[in-house]
Amino acid sequence: MIMAMSSIHPLRSKHRRAFSLVELLTVIAIIALLTAIIYPTVTKSMASARRDKASSNLRQICLAYLSYMQEGGKLKTLRTNNYGEWAAQLARYTGLNDAAVYFVDDDPAQEGFILPQTVLTNPNDASSVQTSGFASAPIAYAFASGTYTQSPPSTTPIVWTRGLQPDGTWSANSPYKGQGGFIGFLDGHVEWFNSLDNPENPSEGVLTAYGTNQRTKSILEAIGAQSGKPNPPNILEYTPPSA
């Protein structure tokens, strides 16, 4: 028994070579280098996924608006006094009651808010938008209220990322922090714009002024608010409190 134990002992005492300080620092440097290479790619992919989600949600809103507009076989417009009522009418008449489609991930205006789960607490009662908390929540979008029913579907905006300014750019406190925004059109399609400037002609915009073929960067001109027609559309939008 003593001999057997003696024969095992050398194996247990076999020397194991440890990492040197230089080798350890080399491994750390390689990990840091790989992180520096991978992190921007992962971050970009996550941002792209969030935008895809927002685009999909905005398209749901546009399609719900189309459904509302065509309900009953006769075209009608959606005219309300505030953005809560606007979304409440879609929720009541089209079933789009999921509040999540109206919010954007990482929107700075959402900080400190408990976001509502639904637009209406009672789908049969548009006034229940007040009890749901949606009427005062930091909605990521602005809405065109009272859009003309004869508006060209492919060029008329009905909903767009909040914070769009008269010069065709988005403000720094917009959901994408001034880097651009989405616009959803009356025909249901959604586009991303860094700004509404026309890169081919800086004096023009990328939108079409209502009732004309002229290019514009003004969302008001695009929805027909400045067309001179009676009962022009107006814009409904959440305004973040001043800092």
Reading the chain (243 residues) residue by residue, the pLDDT tens digits are 444 444 445 445 455 566 677 777 888 888 888 777 776 766 666 677 888 999 999 999 999 999 999 987 889 999 999 999 999 999 999 999 999 999 999 899 999 999 999 999 999 999 999 999 999 999 999 999 999 999 999 999 999 999 999 999 999 999 999 999 999 999 999 999 999 998 888 788 999 999 999 999 999 999 999 888 899 999 999 988 765
Counted residue by residue, the chain has a size of 243
Contact call for residues 202 and 193 (beta carbons, < 8 A): no
The alpha carbon of residue 143 and the mean position of all alpha carbons in its chain are separated, in whole angstroms, by: 14
β-strands 234-237, 215-216: how paired? unpaired
The helix or strand, by DSSP H or E, that contains position 236, with its residue range, turns out to be: strand 234-237
Per-domain residue ranges for the chain?
21-237
